[in-house]
Amino acid sequence: MLKRIWAYRRLHRYISHMEVVDCHEHLHPEDTRLAMPMDVAVLLGEYCGQDLLNAGMRAEEYGIVFGSEAAAAQKWAVLQPYLQAIETTSYYRALCISLKKHCGIDKLDKASFEKASQLLQNGNTPGVCERALAASRIRYAMVSSFPATVRVQQLGGRCRYVPMYYVPPMAQEHGFLRRPETLADLEQQADEFIALALQGGRAVKLRVDTPYTAATPAQVQQALDDWLGGVREFCPELCWYFVELLLQRCAVHDLPVSVHTGYWGDFRALSPEHLIPLIEAHPRNRFDLFHLGYPYVNSSLLLAKTHPNVCIDLCWVYLISEQLARDAICRIVDLVPMNKVMGFGADYWHYESVYGHRRLMDRTMALALADKVADGTLTLAQAKRWARAMLWDNPVRFYGLDQ
C-alpha cells in the first residue's frame, strides 16, 4: 500500500505538469462558438444530457434545460431533481472539475448555477479557445469536424483540423461532400477531402456505422445506380468504396487514419473486429482506433498487439468510466508495445469542458501506472516513460506534429 501511494504521488505530479497532445476533439470554430449564448446547461448537454434522459428526465423537461432560452433559475428548477442520480458518473464529475476551474464553484446549486452561467457568458470572448486549452496544458488538439462546416484558417495555434467522414446507417446522402452522379464524382470528392486534410492536421477521421462491406467495382456501380434510381435508400457498399478511395490517398501521402470504434448509438456495428478485413487489406495505412473500441476493449488491444499498422487511443475513455480506463491501462502495459498507444483525447465541442477531462486523465493514469509499480511490473522510471510515450511521444510521432 505504501509503495502504491508513493508511486501515485510522484506519477500524478509528473503527469499533471506535462504538456500533452489531445488526440480527439470536436471543438467549434471560435466564430461559431462566440455567436452562441453560453450557460452551464450548454456544457451539461454534451454528455450529461444523455445520462439525465437515461435517469428519467422527460423530453419536455429536457427541452426546457437544453433547447430553450429559459432563465437560469427555471433551468435549475427542472434540472435539480435529476442531478443526484448522475452525480457520481465520470461525465458529471469532469464537468464539476471544469466549473471549479473556470467559474470557481465547488458544487452546483441554484445560486452557483446562475453565477457560473453568467461567468461562462462573460468569458465567451475572442481567445476563449486558446485560454481554455492553455489552462488544460494541451499543446496540440486534433479537432475532428465536418469538412463543409469548418474554416481551416480558424483552427490554428493549438488546434489541428482533421476532416471527418461520418455516415450513420440509413443516411440518404451517405456522408458525401455532395450528391455524386458517377463513381468519378466520388474520386474527385476523395481528392478534395484529402486536400482539406493536408491543409489541416494531416490526418483523416472515419466513422461508418455499418459493418465493413467489400464489393467489386461492378457491385459498387450497381449500388450507385440503385441509389440514384431510388431502388435503395442506403447502400453501404458506397460508403466503404469512398473509405477505400480515402485510404488509397492516405497511403500515398502517409496520412494517419483515426477510426471511431465502439460506444455510441448501436455500438454493435462499431466493434473493432469488423475492421480486421479492412486493416489487413491496407498494410500501408496507419490506423488509430479511438475509444479502445469500448465495450470491445480486448479486441482493440489484440488488434494493436497483432497488427503493425494499428495503434489504440484512450480518447474519451476516462470520461466514459475512470475505472474502465484504469483497468485498460494496466492491461495495455501487459499486452501492447509502448509506442502504439495514444493516451488522451477529451472529445468535446466546448472548450471549457476539456479541463475536467484532462484532470480525470491525470488521476486515472497515475493510479493505473502506480498499480503496476506497486506489483513490481514497472519501475517508477518505466512508468514515467509509459506516461510520456502515451501523452506526448507517440501522438507527436504518429500525427507528425513535430514537422
- pLDDT tens for 84-96 read 999 999 999 999 9
20-25, strands of its sheet edge to edge: 20-25, 138-145, 159-167, 204-208, 257-260, 287-290, 310-313, 341-342
pTM: 0.95
Residue 324 has pLDDT above 70, yes or no: yes
pLDDT, one tens digit per residue, over 8-64 is 999 999 999 999 999 999 999 888 899 999 999 999 999 999 999 999 999 999 999
Cell of 278: 479492412
CATH superfamily of 128-398: Metal-dependent hydrolases (3.20.20.140)
What does DSSP say about strands 341-342 and 287-290: parallel, antiparallel, or unpaired? Answer: unpaired
Contact yes or no for 354/136 (Cβ under 8 A): yes
- Helix or strand run (H / E) with residue 142: strand 138-145
Nearest to 37 by CA among 76, 78, 67: 67
pLDDT interval class at 155 (50, 70, 90): low
Nearest to 128 by CA among 190, 241, 43: 43
